[in-house]
């Protein structure tokens, strides 16, 4: 698990290099920043999952103790829980990078993201319910809230880094609006 986390910059670099042949020259210039940003976001998500979410999740699972029932988690179960949390949070922390990529290719823009914010909030709670390994509300909430914050960060990132319209398209779209 540690090896996969430490190798994540190389893994993301290989993914971007796989995509690179299908890109234009000006699009290839963003491969290095996207690779570094992807690795940083994944590692930040994994750290958040392990340091913030894992303790309450494990406490929840250990909370089924009675005088007749004592939990005896195996190393495999502990490893499985921590790995699922690390991967799930690493992936959801990639949301801003993914949204900027979609904006760069012209599929989303700031207006679209702000207009569909309520659906994104609903989707955040659905994704949290599916991805959290424990069926308690606290852990689902601990995934949904960062996912909603990442969506808001995505809106700002798309606004700053997304595809800009050429001057001719902006003036022609302004004339059509009048």
**129-138 pLDDT tens trace:** 888 776 778 8
CA angle, 127 then 121 then 41, to 5°: 65
> What is residue 169's predicted lDDT score, i.e. its pLDDT?
47
Closest of 138, 157, 126, 168 to residue 54, by C-alpha: 138
Q: Is residue 159 part of a domain?
A: yes
Phi, psi of 142 (to 5 degrees): -70, -15
Which tokens is 47 given? 């750290």
Give mean pLDDT, residues 41-55.
89
pLDDT band at 163 (very low <50, low <70, confident <90, very high): low
Q: Is residue 47 part of a domain?
A: yes
Q: Is residue 36 part of a domain?
A: yes
Q: Is residue 178 part of a domain?
A: no
Q: Which domain holds residue 76?
A: 2-164
CA angle, 87 then 93 then 95, to 5°: 120
The mean pLDDT value of the chain amounts to: 81
> What is residue 171's predicted lDDT score, i.e. its pLDDT?
47
pLDDT tens-digit map of 85-104: 888 898 899 999 989 888 88
Give mean pLDDT, residues 104-121.
90
Residue of 130 and 4 predicted with greater confidence: 130
> What is residue 164's predicted lDDT score, i.e. its pLDDT?
62
Number of domains in the chain: 1
Give mean pLDDT, residues 49-76.
79
Residue of 143 and 61 predicted with greater confidence: 143
Q: Is residue 177 part of a domain?
A: no
Q: Is residue 139 part of a domain?
A: yes
Q: Is residue 172 part of a domain?
A: no
pLDDT-above-70 percentage for the chain: 90
Q: Is residue 41 part of a domain?
A: yes
Lowest mean pLDDT among 13-22, 59-68, 85-94: 59-68
**Residue 167: is its pLDDT beyond 60?**
no
Q: What stretches of 132-166 show up as alpha helix (H) in DSSP? A: 137-161
């Amino acid at each position: 698990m540690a090896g996969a986390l430490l190798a994540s910059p190389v893994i993301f670099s290989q993914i971007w290099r796989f995509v690179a042949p299908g890109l234009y020259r000006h699009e290839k210039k963003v491969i290095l920043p996207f690779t570094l940003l992807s690795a940083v976001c994944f590692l930040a998500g994994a750290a958040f999952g392990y340091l913030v979410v894992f303790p309450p999740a494990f406490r929840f699972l250990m909370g089924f103790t009675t005088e007749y029932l004592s939990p005896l988690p195996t190393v495999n179960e502990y490893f499985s829980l921590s790995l699922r949390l690390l991967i799930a949070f690493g992936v959801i922390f990639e949301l801003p990078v993914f949204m900027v990529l979609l904006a760069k290719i012209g599929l989303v823009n700031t207006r679209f993201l702000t207009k569909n914010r309520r659906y994104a909030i609903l989707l955040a709670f659905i994704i949290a319910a599916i991805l959290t390994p424990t069926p308690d509300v606290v852990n689902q909430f601990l995934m949904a809230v960062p996912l909603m914050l990442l969506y808001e960060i995505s809106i700002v990132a798309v606004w700053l880094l997304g595809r800009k319209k050429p001057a001719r398209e902006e003036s022609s779209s302004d004339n059509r609006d009048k």
